[in-house]
Chains A and B, each alone.
Chain A
């Protein structure tokens, strides 16, 4: 057997499948011993190449843009927030409050004028401790309240309560952003809160113009 022949059967030889003649050649041939050692060395060194390189940051930028284009990345408002248990508890109430505001606004819009709402203001506030803690309304808020001043008392009270809820919502979101300015989720919640407040204004004005 010569070295060329041995090289061709080397894969089987390494797996333990070999003849006595092949073994004899290997034992007596330093070139073939070197070959085997080199191939083993190459194979062992190759494992070092796994995860050896890093792509440029531009790769992520391009990928992120494509993910957005395809709608795979959604707006933070539709995503479960990545926050600690504590901060999750702190901001979790914003979601139902936002939903409540939307429902309340909808009721306000379609509720027939003059149909009394029996719930007194004090009772409404009592059911939502966060609202009770809100500071007096601002000048702008007073404009809104003046706009609805001619409505029936129950509706006026509802507007006031909703406004205070929105303010409380904004106050809390702003505080959260102060604590963590990079919290995208809370930023989105703040935007939502202002949107809710805007909707309240629009509803009040629309109803007044009718």
Chain B
């Protein structure tokens, strides 16, 4: 998002809203909130899988943002700054709750080994075409927290492995490995959902 983006029709641009918010302008806060609330809330919801927690964390992320907005100098995009702050808020909360940010290899290693079943000549078994966004959303919510964190940060939010490693405090190799396992787990969940749906027909 650029600073020139128009916020709320013909009202404030993001850049104008940032400057006004630095002065404590209530409406400017609302403009910034409206511009970014969906992305921040979706991030919180995807990472926690819980609407009540997501709402609390959204509030917390914006509160931190507005507390620190006077320090924003525009070196990076505002959205980048905000989303990084939001990710940190969520990760801090997950740590407080004792939820694993990165899944323990010991607990999962071997689980997926040999998981791929031979499906000779079954191109119709692919997920494409049978899975929509809602199915995927539900499956992401069902992922174990550690997998979910890495998957959301990489595949949904678009962070690179080096950034994820920095954010969650793991190695780049670990981030890559966990992402792969998260995708495999998601595939499994999606296929199970599809099979359940087919069984009901």
A31 within 8 A of B: yes
Whether A38 contacts B126 by the Cβ 8 Å rule is yes
- What separation, in Å, do the CA atoms of A184 and B25 have in the docked complex? 11
**Residue from the set B62, B117, B120, B190 with the largest chain A CB neighbour count within 10 Å:** B62
B193 within 8 A of A: no
Q: Check A74/B24 contact, CB under 8 A, given A7-B112, A37-B128.
A: yes
- What separation, in Å, do the CA atoms of A72 and B26 have in the docked complex? 9
Whether A7 contacts B24 by the Cβ 8 Å rule is no
Whether B38 contacts A54 by the Cβ 8 Å rule is yes
Q: List chain B residues, Cβ under 8 A from A80.
A: 20, 23, 25
Majority-rule SS of B interface residues: helix
- What separation, in Å, do the CA atoms of A78 and B25 have in the docked complex? 9
- What separation, in Å, do the CA atoms of A62 and B55 have in the docked complex? 10
Whether B67 contacts A72 by the Cβ 8 Å rule is yes
A interface size (C-beta, 8 A): 50
B95 within 8 A of A: no
- What separation, in Å, do the CA atoms of A50 and B136 have in the docked complex? 12
Whether A72 contacts B126 by the Cβ 8 Å rule is no
Query: In angstroms, how far is the closest chain B Cβ from the Cβ of A59?
Result: 5
Contact digits for A50-87, partner B, Cβ 8 Å, 1 yes 0 no: 11111110111011101100101110101110100000
- What separation, in Å, do the CA atoms of A35 and B117 have in the docked complex? 10
Q: List chain A residues, Cβ under 8 A from B152.
A: 49
Whether A34 contacts B27 by the Cβ 8 Å rule is no
Whether A73 contacts B29 by the Cβ 8 Å rule is yes
Whether B26 contacts A73 by the Cβ 8 Å rule is yes
- What separation, in Å, do the CA atoms of A29 and B11 have in the docked complex? 57
Partner of B137, one of A52, A74, A78, A79: A52
Contact digits for B35-60, partner A, Cβ 8 Å, 1 yes 0 no: 00111011101100000001100110
Majority-rule SS of A interface residues: helix
Q: Check A49/B140 contact, CB under 8 A, given A4-B116, A64-B26.
A: yes
- What separation, in Å, do the CA atoms of A50 and B123 have in the docked complex? 29
Query: In angstroms, how far is the closest chain B Cβ from the Cβ of A157?
Result: 39
B interface size (C-beta, 8 A): 64
Q: Check A4/B120 contact, CB under 8 A, given A53-B38, A55-B37.
A: no
A179-210 contacts to B, CB under 8 A, are: 184
Q: Check A70/B55 contact, CB under 8 A, given A32-B116, A63-B33, A79-B23.
A: no
Partner of A41, one of B45, B62, B114, B128: B128
Whether A52 contacts B126 by the Cβ 8 Å rule is no
Q: List chain B residues, Cβ under 8 A from A3.
A: 114, 116-118
- What separation, in Å, do the CA atoms of A34 and B124 have in the docked complex? 9
- What separation, in Å, do the CA atoms of A38 and B156 have in the docked complex? 16
Q: List chain B residues, Cβ under 8 A from A53.
A: 38, 41-42, 45, 54
Q: List chain B residues, Cβ under 8 A from A79.
A: 20, 23-26
Closest B residue, CB atoms, query A81: B25
A1-44 contacts to B, CB under 8 A, are: 2-4, 6-8, 10-11, 29-32, 34-35, 37-39, 41-43
A107 within 8 A of B: no
Q: List chain B residues, Cβ under 8 A from A184.
A: 26-27
Task: Please give me the 4 A-B residue pairs with the lowest Cβ-Cβ distance, nearest first.
Answer: A74-B24, A4-B114, A46-B155, A3-B116
A residues adjacent to B (C-beta < 8 A): 2-4, 6-8, 10-11, 29-32, 34-35, 37-39, 41-43, 45-56, 58-60, 62-64, 66-67, 70, 72-74, 76, 78-80, 82, 184
Query: What are 6 A-B pairs with beta-carbon distances under 8 A?
Result: A29-B118, A31-B118, A42-B186, A49-B46, A80-B20, A82-B12
Known A-B contacts: A39-B183, A49-B156. Give 16 more (CB < 8 A). Answer: A2-B114, A38-B190, A41-B126, A45-B131, A45-B136, A46-B140, A48-B136, A50-B156, A53-B42, A54-B41, A59-B58, A64-B29, A66-B59, A67-B29, A73-B25, A74-B25
